Structure 1
Amino acid sequence: MQTVSQENSIATSHKRYQILVLIFISVVINYMDRTNISVAASALSDELSLSAVQMGLIFSAFGWTYSVLQIPGGLAVDVVKVRILYPFILIAWSLATLVQGLVSSFAALIGCRMAIGVFEAPSYPCNNKIVTSWFPENERASAIAIYTSGQFIGLAFLMPVLALIQDQFGWRGLFIISGLIGIVWAVIWYVFYRDPQDHPNVSERELALIEQDKTDQENTNKEQAEEKPKFSSADFVKVFSSKKLWGIYIGQFCLGGVLIFFLTWFPTYLVEYRNLDFIKSGFLASLPFLAAFCGVLVSGFLSDFLVRRGISKEVSRKTPIVIGMLLSMCIVGANYTDDTFWIITFLSIAFFGNGLSSIAWVFVSLLAPKRLVGLVGGCFNAIGGLSAVTVPIVIGWLVNDGDFKPALLFIASLAAIGTCSYLFLVGKIDKLED
């Protein structure tokens, strides 16, 4: 009996879930190094005498290189083994994070933020390749949802921790400690990560499950590739001339604009405009991130529930996005109260709405011709990514006189534009003719 039990235990190994934990923690560290500048911003700008406009440029510098290098980063993932590439980029962006704590000039900070964008660019393609290698197709969506939740769950719990680190060691210490954490994690990653076929503790049953699914998928992809015609200039005209596609492009830009406010200017808003101390602002800043995480979960479950009930795509897919963007407009409510409870409530509702709108990617497959899904997805992601470049700069210009009210009105306006974009530009959901 004991032998049978041991055999069954070996046969049902679940090493892929341990790999998922590695990805999840990597995502948390990824977003920690993206957003620790927002926690340090107030003290950093005071010590280095940086204006709000300059801080806006520093916030946006990450997006300059990150968005431009998405395609090259994806190509690097196809060429270099993940076990080598991931620790390399982890160490590289962590060193850039650490160096931020050693510099004292505006130009140097811009350079460091751009470097972080360069080396984080391949990170999500890496995550996707790992999940594709380790998980059968029917488990991949759940795996992706789990590791992407790290950006909200991780930040929700890290905001108070980062605030405490800064309180004890200053803004320079915050960057140095964040960088050291990433370097240590890169070593841990290299020690524990293996591809499925190279992992010493993967059972034959688990490996067969992964490999069989991969073989089926590769055969399907090969058949599709043989049938797939080459791109032409007419394809690019199509994806940039469709009113429906511009509806989702603009919507994604607006959705990203709301998100980038919380990833950059939000702690500065609490500390400088609402006069909260670093520790209190760290704890309060975590609440909207928890709300966004709940919004992400509700979005998927609500939309799928409506689909299962036979509700039309116009209602089942648009409802979470439109409701979410309408809720995001609640951010302007913080302009009309001085009560901390209501300020955080309005901001949490707004970020919950941002999470609720997060299923926008589904419209790429709903609207794009099957042959052009990848191209439309690339345009959709690129235009959405421009919000990380422009929105921090616009906010920096709007708050340069110390008043955040125009900035919150600007964010609410983005949400309103996104709502109108889905209602009036996207309109009826029909796949474009090829």
Structure 2
Amino acid sequence: METTHIQTQATGKRHRLLAMLFITVVITYLDRSNLSIAATAIAQDLQLDPAQMGLVFSAFGWSYALLQIPGGMLVDRTRPRLLLALVIGLWSIATIVQGFAGTFAVLLSLRVLLGALEAPAYPTLNRVVTTWFPDSERARAIASYTSGQYVGLAFLTPALVLTQQHFGWQGVFFLTGAIGVVWGLLWYAVYREPSEASGINEAELETIRAGGGLVDLSEAGNRPTRTRYTAADWRAVLGNRKLWGVYIGQIAVTSTLWFFLTWFPTYLVKYRHMDFLKVGFMAAVPFLAAFVGILGSGLLSDWMIRRGVSATVARKVPIVTGLLLSTAIVGANYVETPAMVILFMAIAFFGSGFSSITWVLVSSMAKKELLGLTGGMFNLMGNLSSICVPVVIGFIVRNSDFKPALMFMSAVGVIGALSYLFLVGKIERIR
């Protein structure tokens, strides 16, 4: 009697989902960094000095950082399909409107609005990856979609430069905003929770579930929504030494990123006197280096986990190593040729990418019913750099000397590495 063979091999739906997360991250960072491409032309047209440009660069961070907590709370209450589609569409419209800005005040206000609308984005993505991936794959998954902030800009920066050459700085905002509107509609049409997704079988759901993925988080009775947060919840998020070590380290990780998202093109054009079109292609090199860095760190970290290395070592080694490499940015102060400047910038941004698997710590350490709140606090702390770094650099370079600014950036990297070495203890979920 022949036995019927039942297909039990797990499908790979979660791996295909990564493409959607990757595209989402590319779009979020296009809308954050488009200002850096247009900055020189905007400063000339609107007659803005370096201090004013520093304020405009930082305006996104004012609302983005401060609204991370409300954004995280929203993530704990709202399904990703609706929430992400809505905020992508709204911030993309705000991006388009920036192309019509004619004064410092209007541009500043629109950047604040953009930051407010993007605030729930990363906590939502972290919530998605926590439900779709087991622990042993999570660092690679986070590295894969987070790499969109680097590789997308690496390939699209030259395209944005060419757009500005042909259609003015306004065209940069029109193009990036239109892309976002289309993607918001596609996200709503395609994305589903694991238990509702087509093309996934029970074997894959069990693989995720058995590996620590919160695959049932969205189901009635399993979703740990909050009508309010208790004092104990806030103590779990704000009173834990390990999390404070992660928060301080994240400020350092994102500081290098925000330098490249804001002042980097201006540094090359105005302070290193490079041709604008040439800058569009040379600026892509550090972004590609950061892309290699983050993919490499995700692969290394998960490989160490599979080899039986503790999560503490496997997660910390790439982060601390990357933060120390990011201090290489100061080397650009001591070279003259464009190639050497780009080399030091590429090493520093590689380090920034190598340290950027930090969201995996939120997935691994946060109380499961506080994923959104912890992610919001983590992103709030990390994005204090989006407020401080552009403003501090703007004031430092008022005397037309960029060297102290790069020394400042290097010092921040050292502080971040020390935070992980001495404040973050064993990596485990907070009970």
TM-score between both structures, scaled by the size of structure 1: 0.81
- Cα displacement (A) at 1:142: 4.2
Partner of 2:3: none
Partner of 1:411: 409
Partner of 2:263: 265
- Summarize the Cα distance change of 1:207–1:365 in structure 2 as closer, same or farther, 3 Å threshold: closer
Q: Does 1:208 align with 2:189?
A: no
Identical amino acids, percent of aligned pairs: 49
Partner of 1:36: 34
Contact 1:366 1:429 in 2 (8 A): no
CA distance in 2, matches of 1:330, 1:134: 36
Contact 2:95 2:174 in 1 (8 A): yes
Cα deviations by residue, 1:272-324 (Å, 9 ceiling, x for unpaired): 11112222111111111111122112323334555666667776554333332
- Summarize the Cα distance change of 1:172–1:381 in structure 2 as closer, same or farther, 3 Å threshold: closer
- Structure 1 residues 17-416: aligned runs within 5 Å: 18-131=16-129, 142-194=140-192, 202-203=198-199, 206-209=200-203, 217=214, 232=231, 236=235, 239-240=238-239, 242=241, 245-305=243-303, 316-361=314-359, 379-416=377-414
Query: Structure 1: any 5+ residue segments left out of the alignment?
Result: 1-6
Contact 1:137 1:213 in 2 (8 A): no
CA distance in 2, matches of 1:332, 1:371: 42
- Cα displacement (A) at 1:195: 5.1
Contact 2:91 2:118 in 1 (8 A): yes
- Summarize the Cα distance change of 1:106–1:218 in structure 2 as closer, same or farther, 3 Å threshold: same
Contact 2:98 2:107 in 1 (8 A): yes
Cα deviations by residue, 1:253-282 (Å, 9 ceiling, x for unpaired): 122211110111111111111112222111
**SS of the residue 1:58 aligns to:** helix
Residue type of the alignment partner of 2:423: V
Which protein is bigger by CA-based radius of gyration? 1
CA distance in 2, matches of 1:311, 1:196: 29
CA distance in 2, matches of 1:265, 1:253: 17
- Cα displacement (A) at 1:97: 0.7
Cα deviations by residue, 1:103-142 (Å, 9 ceiling, x for unpaired): 1111111111111112112222333444456667766554
- Cα displacement (A) at 1:14: 5.6
- Summarize the Cα distance change of 1:250–1:403 in structure 2 as closer, same or farther, 3 Å threshold: same
CA distance in 1, matches of 2:20, 2:99: 27
Aligned-residue RMSD, C-alpha: 3.8
- Summarize the Cα distance change of 1:324–1:141 in structure 2 as closer, same or farther, 3 Å threshold: closer
- Cα displacement (A) at 1:39: 0.7
Cα deviations by residue, 1:363-419 (Å, 9 ceiling, x for unpaired): 668888999988766544332221111111101111122221111111011112223
Contact 2:329 2:347 in 1 (8 A): yes
Aligned length, in residue pairs? 417
CA distance in 1, matches of 2:160, 2:172: 7
Please state which structure has a larger fraction of its residues in helix.
1
Partner of 1:4: none
Cα deviations by residue, 1:307-362 (Å, 9 ceiling, x for unpaired): 66666777655433333222211111111111011000000001111122224456
**SS of the residue 1:50 aligns to:** coil
Of 118-127 and 159-168, the range deviating more from structure 2: 118-127
- Cα displacement (A) at 1:431: 7.3
Contact 1:197 1:207 in 2 (8 A): no
- Cα displacement (A) at 1:181: 1.9
CA distance in 1, matches of 2:173, 2:430: 50
CA distance in 1, matches of 2:355, 2:10: 37
| Higher RCO (C-alpha 8 Å, min separation 6) | 2
CA distance in 2, matches of 1:273, 1:124: 33
Residue type of the alignment partner of 2:98: Q
TM-score between both structures, scaled by the size of structure 2: 0.82
